[in-house]
Amino acid sequence: MKSFLNVQDLGDLKQALAEAREIKQDRFKYVELGRNKTALLVFFNNSLRTRLSTQKAAQNLGMNVIVLDVNAGAWKLETERGVIMDGDKSEHLLEAIPVMSSYCDIIGIRSFAGLTDREYDYAETVYNQFVKYSGKPIFAMETATVHPLQAFADLITIEEHKQTARPKVVLTWAPHPRALPQAVPNSFAEWMNAADVDFVITHPEGYELDPAFAGNARVEYDQMKAFEGADFVYAKNWSCPGVTRPEDYGKILTDYHEMLDWTVSDRQMAVTNNARFMHCLPVRRGMIVTDEVIEAPTSLVIPEAANREISATVVLKRMLETER
Ligand code: CP
């Protein structure tokens, strides 16, 4: 595997889930695979889970790890070609990428959407520059439009906790005071569409996800109706994807004070099939979810975060196997 961005990059999902189970039973089974190999993790944005779980995954495989926080100690990087660099950015990504790649064997990229230029974000411009100019396998640690390590961990968690062969999984929009990217809901939708689940998306009108990710998922604008009989509820905020009105891309369409009835609370959870609550974290309590729901025994947010180590170990293992 030379690039990990979408669910198709992993090939057969059942096989990938079997590998995840194998690694969970023995995290160090493939510790020889990464001997004398180096993973470089490049962060253009903050992270807690991705940073720690991906480092741990690389160490599970015997790899050396270098972490670069671009905005803390490195030269500020220009990412667009053709600009006159007379501002505060001292180095261009087009030199920085081959330099970085000379020190490592695999590169992980975290680079959020700017939320101002839909075309630039949805072209995955920064990620694809790494693919083009590094000559190394590249994996997404949440990029402009996707967060596949999270979605893979989410799927592993659902597989571990499902009570029926084909559970009902609901992705619900929830309010937030700042505009957030669509990467997590995009990937969650993409991966649920590829999995054997009954998948429903609920959000206020105007927040329709890009069809490349939403696929044929059922969209239900009435949140209470969507929650009926749900086995898993996955909450997340996202800004306007600009599908129906491109000029609204990256915007919050209605002030969050008016949207607080979308906060996941006992009211909505009461109509589910004792649903397990999921969120990728970090989460704002009182906005996305109430204290009661996230603290309930049905909440899966901690095991879900723990499974990030497993999803990252499978992905790095695949990349190391390709490079052998
Ligand atoms: N879920 C997730 O990616 O968390 P971090 O932003 O802390 O890495």
**Pair 12, 133 in one domain:** yes
pLDDT for residue 90: 94
Tokens matching residue 4? 């990990």
**Pair 212, 133 in one domain:** no
**Pair 106, 189 in one domain:** no
Tokens matching residue 19? 């590998």
pLDDT for residue 117: 97
pLDDT for residue 11: 96
User: Could you tell me the CATH number of the domain that includes residue 317?
Assistant: 3.40.50.1370
pLDDT for residue 323: 79
Q: Give the count of beta carbons closer than 10 Å to the beta carbon of residue 181.
A: 24
> With a 6 A CB cut-off, is 283 part of the ligand 1 pocket?
no
215 φ/ψ sector (left φ>0, alpha ψ -120 to 50, else beta): left
pLDDT for residue 145: 98
11 φ/ψ sector (left φ>0, alpha ψ -120 to 50, else beta): left
51 Cα–ligand 1 center, Å: 8
Q: Give one DSSP letter per residue of 215-246, joined into a string.
A: TT-EE-S-HHHHHTT-SEEEEE------SS-G
Give mean pLDDT, residues 227-234. 98
> With a 6 A CB cut-off, is 18 part of the ligand 1 pocket?
no
Q: What is the pTM of this model?
A: 0.97
What's CA 159's distance to the chain center, in Å? 18
Among 5-14, 72-81, 187-196, the range scoring the smallest mean pLDDT is 72-81
**Pair 291, 189 in one domain:** yes
pLDDT for residue 39: 98
Among 24-38, 66-80, 190-204, 254-268, the range scoring the smallest mean pLDDT is 66-80
Give mean pLDDT, residues 210-225. 98
Among 11-15, 77-81, 232-236, the range scoring the smallest mean pLDDT is 77-81
**Pair 285, 194 in one domain:** yes
Domains: count for the chain:
2
pLDDT higher than 80, residue 216: yes
Measured on CA atoms in the order 304, 305, 309, 314, is the torsion positive or negative? positive
Q: Quick one: which of 64, 61, 41 has its CA closest to 51?
A: 41
Of 41, 45, 46, 50, the one to substitute when testing ligand 1's pocket (max ligand atoms within 8 A of C-beta) is: 50
Give mean pLDDT, residues 238-243. 98
- The residue range of the domain holding 229 is 150-304
pLDDT digits (tens, 9 = 90+) for 97-140: 999 999 999 999 999 999 999 999 999 999 999 999 999 999 99
E-state strands within 95-197: 106-110, 138-140, 168-173
pLDDT higher than 90, residue 324: no
pLDDT for residue 303: 98
- 135 near 75, Cβ under 8 Å? no
Q: Quick one: which of 110, 120, 95, 126 has its CA closest to 50?
A: 110
Q: Any residues with CB less than 8 A from the CB of 89 and at least 6 apart, and which?
A: 75, 76, 77, 78
pLDDT bucket at 73, cuts 50 / 70 / 90: confident
DSSP letter, residue 248: G
Q: Is the link from the previous residue into 282 a cis peptide, with omega within 30 of 0?
A: yes
**Pair 229, 217 in one domain:** yes
Of 44, 308, 315, the one to substitute when testing ligand 1's pocket (max ligand atoms within 8 A of C-beta) is: 308
Q: Quick one: which of 263, 275, 269 has its CA closest to 237?
A: 263
Give mean pLDDT, residues 198-223. 98
**Pair 247, 217 in one domain:** yes
Question: Which uninterrupted H or E stretch holds 43?
Answer: strand 38-43
Residue position matching structure tokens 């995290």: 27
